[in-house]
């Protein structure tokens, strides 16, 4: 068993020894989510930032506190993985924009546990066989574990559904709905070029559908596996709705008759019937040519079983500036909170089903 440096595995939230030996943590990368994670590590009462890896030459050599808006920490950012490995950290929060499997395996083999917001590690059975073999070998060599988490997928596709399903003895279906109003997001490249808002009608590309399957499919399959109802087929589909007039949003103009809303669905089927489903609906206006439900930012989880229920989780309304400052925490915080549990876990690729209920240390 991979022992926690502070607490026993049964109760990693027990802080009896925390003042004597904090968790030694490295932050890997400082994008929007990574910068928030870095700040949370520095401010955490039972963690000690010992290293910071960055990709940009302009960030290398700068103090970690400076890069996330805090006071100087004495920890200097580096682009050298050897320097990170030499630290002998308990855990690395790996939040790279692109996965480098060699990096991850080197970290694990060196004895550093990894918590990541990347989705490639949500479910071992969904990984490419060679990739899974390499990661498991690195975990065995280092006596370490790796865990993928975040907000979506993660919190809303595993943590919340598993809690609701604990009240069921029969489950007919589980549906998760995500709603996002992107009208206040001042990101023209993302909205118009990547996501396709403001474009004439076109089918969802196979690349986008494949991305949806690989992003959400493993997480949904984890939940089905936990119920001993493994899914047999994974399907993905997408559709768009068009604006009924010209619309001005923060990122620019969305012309009449172009994409103003879109939804993508990933569904897991068992015995030819839909068992688990995730549907994301993103929109920049409510003035569209289809009768879609366009709720405020947040989620709805629907369980159909012998104790059926619906749970709505809505985000508070915020200005763009406040939203930009707040949103990264929804993804970063679950990763930071998982650190003690991943350190304490058995070596290997650990899923949300396998880890104990994660309770954050706040004070």
What CATH number did the domain enclosing 142 receive? 3.40.50.720
Task: For residues 40 and 110, state if they share a domain.
Answer: yes
Instruction: Looking at the structure, tell me whether residues 53 and 143 fall in a common domain.
Output: yes
The two tokens of residue 185 are 């997001």
Whether pLDDT at 96 is above 90:
yes
pLDDT in tens, 227-246: 999 999 999 999 999 999 99
Q: Tokens 């405020």: give the residue.
A: 296
Assign 27 to helix, strand or coil. strand
Whether residue 37 lies inside any domain: the answer is yes
Q: What is the mean pLDDT of the chain?
A: 92
Q: Mean pLDDT throughout 38-66?
A: 97
Tell me if 23 sits within 8 A of 50, measured CB to CB: no
Residues 41 and 49 sit within 8 Å (Cβ to Cβ): yes
Question: Is 268 inside a domain boundary?
Answer: yes
Q: 246 is in which domain, residue-wise?
A: 168-306
Mean pLDDT value across residues 3-30: 63
| Side-chain half-sphere CA neighbours of 133 within 13 A | 3
Cβ atoms within 10 Å of 310's Cβ, excluding its own: 12
Using an 8 Å Cβ cutoff, are 71 and 45 in contact?
A: no
Average confidence (pLDDT) over 30-59: 97
Helix axes 101-109, 129-142, angle to 10 degrees: 30
In this structure, the answer to whether residues 173 and 277 fall within a common structural domain is yes
Percentage, residues of the chain above pLDDT 90:
84
One domain for residues 297 and 205: yes
Tell me whether residue 218 is in a domain.
yes
- Report the pLDDT averaged over residues 95-108: 97
Both 194 and 123 in one domain: the answer is: no
How would residue 190 be classed by pLDDT, with cut points 50, 70 and 90?
Answer: confident
- Band of the pLDDT at 318, cuts 50, 70, 90? confident
| 172 and 263 fall within a common domain | yes
Give the C-alpha separation, 132 to 126, whole Å: 9
Strand partners, 280: 178, 264
pLDDT of the residue at 201 = 77
Among residues 323, 332, 326, 354, the alpha carbon closest in space to that of 341 is found at 354
Is 355 part of a structural domain of the chain?
no
Does any domain span residue 363? no
Listed ranges 123-127, 180-184, 207-211; the one with the highest mean pLDDT = 123-127
Specify if 361 maps to a domain: no
Task: Give the chain's domain count.
Answer: 2
Is there a single domain that holds both residue 91 and residue 202?
no
pLDDT single digits (tens) 248-300: 999 999 999 999 999 999 999 999 999 999 999 999 999 999 999 999 999 99
Query: Per-residue pLDDT tens for 211-231?
Result: 899 999 999 999 999 999 999
**Contacts for 184 with CB less than 8 Å, ≥ 6 apart:** 249, 250, 319, 320, 323
Q: Give the burial class of 273: count Cβ atoms within 10 A of its Cβ; 0-12 exposed, 13-18 middle, 19 or more buried.
A: exposed
Q: Do 145 and 174 belong together in one domain?
A: no
122-147 pLDDT tens trace: 999 999 999 999 999 999 999 999 99
Are residue 268 and residue 203 in the same domain, yes or no?
A: yes
pLDDT at 5 > cutoff 60: no
Is residue 123 included in any domain, yes or no?
yes
pTM for the whole thing? 0.90
Residue given tokens 């694990």 in the structure block: 108
Say if 197 falls within a structural domain. Answer: yes
Shared domain check, 294 and 173: yes
Which DSSP string corresponds to 23-39?
EEEEEE--SHHHHHHHH
Same domain, 37 and 146: yes
- Same-domain check for residues 30 and 82: yes
């Amino acid at each position: 068993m991979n022992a926690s440096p502070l607490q026993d595995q049964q109760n990693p939230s027990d802080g009896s020894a925390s003042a004597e030996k904090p968790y030694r943590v490295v932050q890997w990368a400082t994008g929007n989510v990574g910068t928030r994670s870095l700040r949370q590590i520095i401010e955490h009462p039972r963690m000690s930032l010992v290293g910071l890896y960055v990709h940009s030459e302009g960030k290398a050599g700068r103090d970690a506190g400076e890069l996330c808006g805090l006071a100087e920490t004495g920890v200097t950012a580096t682009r050298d993985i050897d320097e990170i490995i030499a630290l002998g950290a308990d855990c690395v929060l790996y939040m790279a924009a692109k996965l480098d499997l060699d990096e991850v395996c080197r970290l694990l083999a060196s004895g550093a546990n990894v918590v990541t917001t990347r989705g490639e590690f949500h479910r071992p059975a969904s990984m490419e066989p060679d990739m899974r073999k390499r990661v498991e070998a690195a975990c065995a060599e280092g006596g370490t574990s790796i865990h993928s988490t975040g907000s979506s997928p993660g919190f809303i596709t595993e943590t919340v559904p598993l809690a609701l399903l604990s009240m069921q003895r029969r489950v007919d279906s589980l549906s998760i709905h995500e709603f996002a109003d992107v009208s206040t997001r001042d990101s023209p490249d993302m909205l118009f070029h990547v996501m396709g808002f403001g474009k004439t009608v076109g089918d969802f590309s196979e690349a986008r559908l494949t991305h949806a399957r690989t992003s959400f499919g493993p997480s949904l399959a984890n939940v089905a596996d936990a119920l001993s109802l493994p899914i047999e087929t994974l399907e993905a589909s997408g559709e768009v709705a068009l604006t009924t007039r010209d619309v001005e949003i923060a990122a620019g103009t969305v012309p009449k008759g172009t994409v103003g809303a879109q939804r993508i669905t990933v569904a897991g089927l068992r015995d030819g019937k839909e068992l688990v489903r995730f549907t994301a609906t993103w929109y920049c206006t409510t003035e569209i040519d289809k009768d879609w439900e366009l709720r405020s930012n947040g989620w709805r989880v629907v369980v159909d079983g012998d104790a059926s229920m619906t749970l709505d989780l809505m985000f508070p309304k915020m200005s763009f500036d406040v939203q930009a400052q707040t949103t990264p925490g929804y993804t970063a915080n679950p990763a930071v909170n998982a650190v003690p549990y991943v350190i304490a876990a058995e070596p290997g690729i650990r899923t949300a089903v396998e880890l104990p209920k994660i309770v954050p240390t706040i004070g």
